[in-house]
Amino acid sequence: MEINLKEYFMLIKKRWWLIVLVVSVCTLLTTLYSRSNYVPIYQASTKLIVNKTSEQGQLGKEQIDFGAIGVNMSLINTYKEIIKTPAIMDKVVQRNPDLHVTTDQLISIVNVTNLNETQVMSVVVRHLSHERAVRIANAVSDVIQTEIPNIMKVDNITILNRAKVQDNPTPVNQKSNQYIILSFVGSLAATIGIILLLDALDDTLKTDEDIREIFELAPLAYVPKMKSSLLYAKRKRKVKNREEELAYAKTIY
């Protein structure tokens, strides 16, 4: 089938009002939906440093064991997994009954990350409430600090900074226009598709080829659409007169 872009363009132009209507309704509904369903999520984080017990050097000074740094870094990877097990989380729940969270919930909202190949790791908590995110982050960090040495025999976990409650916390998830844009593009494409489909299904007579095919005659004339103002004046008049005519007819019979 020959693809005639100009023809398609004319079709779409003819029903531009349908496109405007459908696209604006879809976009508006999506906008309302995404605005009303927007729930801000807040994030709080603490930083901890992990260091293996330093050994006393020959001169009685503490020396930095450069090999131990690498060991510590790989230890953090182990910790990341340990922290996200009930071994730690159960204790967080036990010690902080006022948080009203279950172990499973904790595991899902707490994230432990290794900061750029350093001995520092970060405990990141996401929660609908900024204040509770801060409290959970701090509680988890405290438990890590006390429990990890028991499990791993590493006694030097220090909390670098604790999470603080901010006055105007910014949510980590921005109000996104993603769905609105998707809805706009989607409805536009769908409407154009429907218009083209309607045209494909439309089997009315339009061109002289259509007429020649059925009647085996070429059209004798093409009468263009007349100005609607002329026709309107005529129609209005007709309707009015028809009523009078009926009344007249009734008087006869």
Partner 1 sequence: MRRPSTNTSHAVMTPILPNSMALEAYRSLRFNIECSVFGRDAKTISITSSSRGEGKTTTAVHLAVAYAQIGKKVLLLDADLRNPSIHFVFDMENRRGLTNYLEGQATRHEIVRETIVDHLSFISGGPLTQNPSGLLASQRMDTLLAELSEEYDVIIVDTPSLLTISDAKIMATKCDGVLLIIEHGQLKRNVAKKVKEELALANAKLIGVVLNEVTNHPANAYL
Per CB under 8 A, which of residues 227..246 are in contact with partner 1? 229-230, 233-234, 237-238, 241-242, 244-245
User: Using the rule CB under 8 A, is 219 a contact of partner 1?
Assistant: yes
User: Using the rule CB under 8 A, is 12 a contact of partner 1?
Assistant: no
Which residues lie closer than 8 Å to 96 by C-beta, 6 or more apart? Answer: 135, 136, 139
DSSP calls for 86-140 = HHHHHHHHHH-GGG---HHHHHHHEEEEE-TTSSEEEEEEEESSHHHHHHHHHHH
Phi/psi for 211 (5° steps) reads: -70, -40
x/- map, 77-116, partner 1, by CB under 8 A: ----------------------------------------
User: Using the rule CB under 8 A, is 10 a contact of partner 1?
Assistant: yes
User: Using the rule CB under 8 A, is 252 a contact of partner 1?
Assistant: yes
8 Å CB contact between 188 and 19: yes
8 Å CB contact between 152 and 188: no
What kind and span of H or E run contains 158? strand 156-161
User: Using the rule CB under 8 A, is 35 a contact of partner 1?
Assistant: no
Inter-CA distances, 56 with 51, 53, 61, 189, 190, Å: 14, 10, 6, 72, 74
Per CB under 8 A, which of residues 50..79 are in contact with partner 1? none
User: Using the rule CB under 8 A, is 38 a contact of partner 1?
Assistant: no
Size of the site for partner 1 (CB under 8 A): 37
In the complex, the smallest distance separating the C-beta of residue 212 from partner 1, rounded to whole angstroms, is: 9
User: Using the rule CB under 8 A, is 247 a contact of partner 1?
Assistant: yes
User: Using the rule CB under 8 A, is 223 a contact of partner 1?
Assistant: yes
In the complex, the smallest distance separating the C-beta of residue 206 from partner 1, rounded to whole angstroms, is: 5
In the complex, the smallest distance separating the C-beta of residue 224 from partner 1, rounded to whole angstroms, is: 5
User: Using the rule CB under 8 A, is 196 a contact of partner 1?
Assistant: no
Taking the C-alpha atoms of residue 103 and residue 85, their distance in angstroms, rounded to an integer, is 9
- Please state, as a whole number, how many other Cβ atoms lie within 10 Å of the Cβ of residue 212: 12
Residues that bind partner 1 (CB under 8 A): 10, 202-206, 208, 210-211, 214-215, 217-226, 229-230, 233-234, 237-238, 241-242, 244-245, 247-249, 251-253
